[in-house]
Amino acid sequence: MFPTYDELLGLATDVAAEAADLVRERRRHGVEVAATKSSPVDVVTEVDKAAEALIFDRLMAARPDDGFLGEEGASSGSDSGVQWVVDPIDGTVNFLYGIPHYAVSIAASVAGDPVAGVVVNVASGETFTATRGGGAYVDGTRLEVPTEDKPLSQRLVATGFNYVADVKVAQTAAVSAMLHEVRDIRRFGAAALDLCAVAAGRVDGFVEEGLNDWDMAAGGLVATEAGARLEMRTGVGGNPCVLCAPSVGFDGFENLVARSGFLRQK
In the chain, what are the domains? 5-143 (3.30.540.10), 152-260 (3.40.190.80)
Q: Which residues pair with 129 in a beta bridge?
A: 118, 137
- Is pLDDT at 37 greater than 60 in this prediction? no
Mapped onto helix, strand or coil, the DSSP state of residue 141 is strand
Q: Given CA atoms 186, 231, 165, 90 in this order, what sign does their dihedral have? A: positive
Q: What is the pLDDT of residue 75?
A: 83
- First CA to last CA distance, the chain: 47
Q: What is the pLDDT of residue 14?
A: 98
C-alpha to C-alpha distance for 79 and 94, rounded to whole angstroms: 36
Residue 9 CA: distances (Å) to CA of 4, 88, 102, 183, 256 = 9, 16, 20, 36, 35
**In the structure, what pLDDT confidence band is assigned to residue 41 with cuts at 50, 70 and 90?**
very low
Q: Given CA atoms 258, 160, 210, 245 in this order, what sign does their dihedral have? A: negative
**In the structure, what pLDDT confidence band is assigned to residue 33 with cuts at 50, 70 and 90?**
low
Rounded to two decimals, the pTM is: 0.94
Look at residues 124, 129, 140, 95 and name the one whose alpha carbon lies nearest to residue 218: 129
Q: What is the pLDDT of residue 39?
A: 52
Look at residues 117, 155, 120, 110 and name the one whose alpha carbon lies nearest to residue 246: 155
- Is pLDDT at 105 greater than 90 in this prediction? yes
- Is pLDDT at 28 greater than 90 in this prediction? no
pLDDT average, residue stretch 72-77 = 85
Please tell me which residue, 162 or 144, carries the higher pLDDT value: 144
Task: Lowest mean pLDDT of 12-21, 27-36, 146-155, 206-215, name the range.
Answer: 27-36
- The mean predicted confidence, pLDDT, of the chain is 93
pLDDT average, residue stretch 183-204 = 98
CB-hemisphere CA count at 13 Å for 175? 21
Q: What is the pLDDT of residue 32?
A: 67
Q: What is the pLDDT of residue 42?
A: 46
pLDDT average, residue stretch 141-168 = 94
pLDDT average, residue stretch 227-247 = 97
pLDDT average, residue stretch 133-145 = 98
Question: What's the one-letter identity of residue 199?
Answer: A
